[in-house]
Amino acid sequence: MTMIESQNSDGQAPLHCFSIVQHNCRGRNLVFFILFSLIRNWNVSFVSLQGPPLFQGSLLRALGFQFYVSNIFGFKKRIATYVNLSLAKDFDYLSFSPTVDVLRLVLSRNDGRPVLRRFDSFSLINTYNRPVDGVSTV
């Protein structure tokens, strides 16, 4: 888990400390359920998953989280970023996928104030690195 301190110049950022959990579920439901049950009592802001499990082609939901996935249709979802619902009231999210193996989530505050000190937005990039013909994709 990575802890990142963030506070704007007036000290009133709605999110002064947030955490990111990253894991490769390898498409297994059990791994997904265990991961979210382990972090249930933690104050986790973001969960970046590679190889998330699918049910009938759709991602599994996690209580207290909203997920974002690649917006490229016709391909299996290889990456997903789950965002804690407590952040939804203060932030807007834009999702970009240059390829099926990369998801860029851009966060900005609803009130137009900086997210981190002088920065108007903050990006989380989630990638799925897999060998293709012996070469990594990322």
What per-residue confidence (pLDDT) applies to 33? 95
What per-residue confidence (pLDDT) applies to 57? 83
| pLDDT interval class at 130 (50, 70, 90) | low
**Structure tokens given for 10:** 């007036």
Cα gap 105→109, rounded to integer Å: 13
**Structure tokens given for 96:** 């970009």
Between strands 79-84 and 131-132, the pairing is unpaired
Whose structure tokens read 């860029």?
104
pLDDT one-digit tens code per residue, 15-56 = 556 788 999 999 999 999 999 999 988 889 899 999 999 998
Range of the domain at 30: 2-136
Mean pLDDT of 9-13: 48
What per-residue confidence (pLDDT) applies to 2? 38
Mean pLDDT of 106-114: 85
Whether residue 132 is predicted with pLDDT greater than 70 in this model: the reply is: no
Residue 34, SS3 per DSSP: helix
Which CATH number does the domain housing residue 59 bear?
3.60.10.10
Q: Which strands, in side-by-side order, build the sheet including 65-69? A: 2-5, 17-24, 46-50, 79-84, 65-69
Whether residue 6 is predicted with pLDDT greater than 70 in this model: the reply is: no
pTM to 2 decimals?
0.80
Long-range contacts (CB closer than 8 Å, 24 or more residues apart) made by 111-116:
113/8, 113/13, 114/8, 114/9, 114/13, 115/6, 115/8, 115/13, 115/91, 116/6, 116/7, 116/8, 116/13
pLDDT one-digit tens code per residue, 54-85 = 998 889 999 999 999 887 777 788 899 999 99
Cα gap 94→54, rounded to integer Å: 23
Count up the domains in the chain and report the number: 1
